[in-house]
Amino acid sequence: MAVINATTEHLRLLARLMRAEAEGEGQLGMLLVGNVGVNRVAGDCLDFKKIRNIWDMVFQSPGGFEAVRKPYFYQPARAIDLRLARRVVRGERFHPATYALWFFEPPGNCPSKWFNQPLTGRYKAHCFYSPLPKDCQKLFSY
């Protein structure tokens, strides 16, 4: 069962986002990006209170994803990208993005906080940040 509703079109959109943001970090990197996306839709908290579906999440402005401004994002989703997107929509979570709402690629070490949220870890080039449970209760309950 899915933790968020996702039409076929939205699933393709999530798959394209995951690929565009993290293909160079392999399948786990792509799954981590997918976790962040699903968390933003499911969490209904902080900067993401008005995010109701994958389209809203991908194109949120401000606060969206850098990848949507690059041509690479607009390639069709491949079968492997869709399989990975389905996994995160079904609720599979991976550390350090288990409850993360943010990630970014710093030029050096990961700052201990990002948008005032604590660092939960790094995977290859990306640092992941999760809210405190008290600030985002829905995110910690699915």
- Does any domain span residue 40? yes
- Does any domain span residue 20? yes
Helix (H, G, I), strand (E, B) or coil at 120: strand
- Does any domain span residue 46? yes
For residues 125 and 107, what is the distance between their CA atoms, to the nearest angstrom? 9
Reported as a single tens digit per residue, the pLDDT across 30-58 is 999 999 999 999 999 999 999 999 999 99
- Does any domain span residue 3? no
User: Span 72-93, mean pLDDT?
Assistant: 96
DSSP H helices in the chain:
8-22, 26-43, 54-58, 79-89
66 contacts 50 by C-beta, under 8 angstroms: no
- Total number of domains constituting the chain: 1
Q: Report the percentage of the chain scoring pLDDT > 90.
A: 90
Q: Which domain holds residue 17?
A: 8-140
